Amino acid sequence: MNNIVTKLPLVVFVILVASLFIFLKNDNQELNSVLIDKQFPDFNLSSLDKSKVLSKNDLEDLPFIINVWATWCITCRVEHPFLMQLKNNPDITVYGINYKDDRREALNLLDRTGNPFKFSIFDPEGRLAIDLGVYGAPETFLIGKDGLIKVRHTGALTPEVWEEKFTKYID
Amino acid sequence: MKKLIFFLLVFISNSLYCEEGSDLYSFNNDIDYERFNSLNKELRCPKCQSSSLDGSNSPISKDLKNQVHKLILEGKTDDEIKSYLIARYGDYIVYEPRFNSTTLVLWVGPFIFLFLVLFIAFYLNMRKSKDVEVK
């Protein structure tokens, strides 16, 4: 008993250092999404090309990824070639959310560089984005075959990230 | 001297302008206005990590302030507004985390440490006085 009590501070200290070491190494730039394994939120917004009003039911091809993008977002241009590649992948559908942007500029950009999206939802006020917990662009969500949100990725979507985080939900 | 006064005036008017942030929002009564201001101080900007919505000018903070404003006008309580944001952005969004399994250590940890320290101090003290008695 004697021994245990006098050594207790040392033990506690070691545990404290170990846990700080583990937790501080975590990358806390990236917030964990609370929406993992939740339903995609409902929305009612027009399509970017103004052709129709979209709702959750229009996102019908499961599984799919939905990419939050904008013309003012530089990193979005970095991931654009990879999204174009994914467009040709038969196992996944790519939708877009045009986030706080100008409709004409956005359409222009897609015309010039290519449109990887089956369609883009036009969200100028970021309303759907708030429901998704989005705090910047680009962000990419993967919705699995069961219709639930499986992955949330902030920052550019690269082939490496795709391999590491996304492919396990697609077959 | 005139120049100096001019610059001072520009400086003061500029800072007054900056202070006016929440006056851009209109409310039905003063209580709602106060609630809006205090909520914005309790909520954290998701983009900037170390500042409140109130102290941040990032676009996402503006959007979230607009949302808080809208929810207040809809008659939602402070708790409902916080829950609304936690459901979307996680515990992170509030400065004072809620009591649940992941925040348990944060809330209880300090008391456990305090208890341990008191216990050890008490024990060592007891032993010392015993030693003295034996001698």
pLDDT the model gives residue B15: 52
Query: Would you call A33 and B92 a contact, using CB atoms and an 8 Å cutoff?
Result: no
Q: Is CATH 1.10.8.640 what the domain over B2-98 is classified as, yes or no?
A: yes
pLDDT in tens, A54-101: 999 999 999 999 999 999 999 999 999 999 999 999 999 999 999 999
Q: Looking at the predicted structure, is the pLDDT value of residue A161 above 90? A: yes
Name the residue in chain B with its Cα closest to that of A128: B88
Which secondary structure element, helix H or strand E, spans residue A159, and what is its range? helix A159-161
Q: Looking at the predicted structure, is the pLDDT value of residue B21 above 60? A: no
The 10 Å CB-count burial string (b at 16+, else e) for A145-157 is eeebbbbbbbbbb
pLDDT the model gives residue B132: 72
Per-domain boundaries in chain A: 30-169
Reported ipTM: 0.78
pLDDT in tens, A20-48: 888 777 655 555 678 888 999 999 999 99
pLDDT the model gives residue A107: 96
pLDDT the model gives residue B19: 44
What average pLDDT is seen over chain B? 83
Question: Could you tell me what percent of chain B has a pLDDT over 70?
Answer: 84
Which chain B residues touch A8 with a CB distance below 8 Å? 116, 120
Alpha carbon distance B71, B80 (integer Å):
9
**Given A8, A29, A126, which is nearest B63 (Cβ)?**
A126
Q: How confident is the model at residue A139 (pLDDT cuts 50, 70, 90)?
A: very high
Name the residue in chain B with its Cα closest to that of A5: B120
Q: Looking at the predicted structure, is the pLDDT value of residue B57 above 90? A: no
Q: A42, A130, A131: which to substitute to probe chain B, counting the most B Cβ within 10 Å?
A: A130
Structure tokens at A103: 């409709």
Mean pLDDT value of segment A136-147: 93
Query: Would you call B90 and A133 a contact, using CB atoms and an 8 Å cutoff?
Result: yes
pLDDT the model gives residue A141: 95
Nearest to B70 by CA among B28, B123, B8: B28
Mean pLDDT value of segment B56-72: 91
Query: Would you call A136 and B88 a contact, using CB atoms and an 8 Å cutoff?
Result: no
Alpha carbon distance A49, A114 (integer Å):
14
Q: Which fold has domain A30-169?
A: Glutaredoxin (3.40.30)
List all residues 6 or more positions away from B66 whose beta carbon is below 8 Å from its beta carbon.
none
Q: How confident is the model at residue B135 (pLDDT cuts 50, 70, 90)?
A: low
Terminal-residue alpha carbon distance, chain A: 58
Q: Looking at the predicted structure, is the pLDDT value of residue B120 above 90? A: no
Q: How confident is the model at residue A136 (pLDDT cuts 50, 70, 90)?
A: confident
> What is the CA angle A13-A18-A19, rounded to 5?
100
pLDDT the model gives residue A11: 86
Query: Would you call B88 and A132 a contact, using CB atoms and an 8 Å cutoff?
Result: yes
Peptide bond into A138 cis (omega under 30): yes
Mean pLDDT value of segment B85-110: 85
Per-domain boundaries in chain B: 2-98, 102-135
> What is the CA angle B57-A66-A118, rounded to 5?
125
Alpha carbon distance A126, A73 (integer Å):
14
Partner B contacted by A37 (CB < 8 A): no
Partner B contacted by A26 (CB < 8 A): no
Mean pLDDT value of segment B73-89: 93
Q: Looking at the predicted structure, is the pLDDT value of residue B18 above 50? A: no
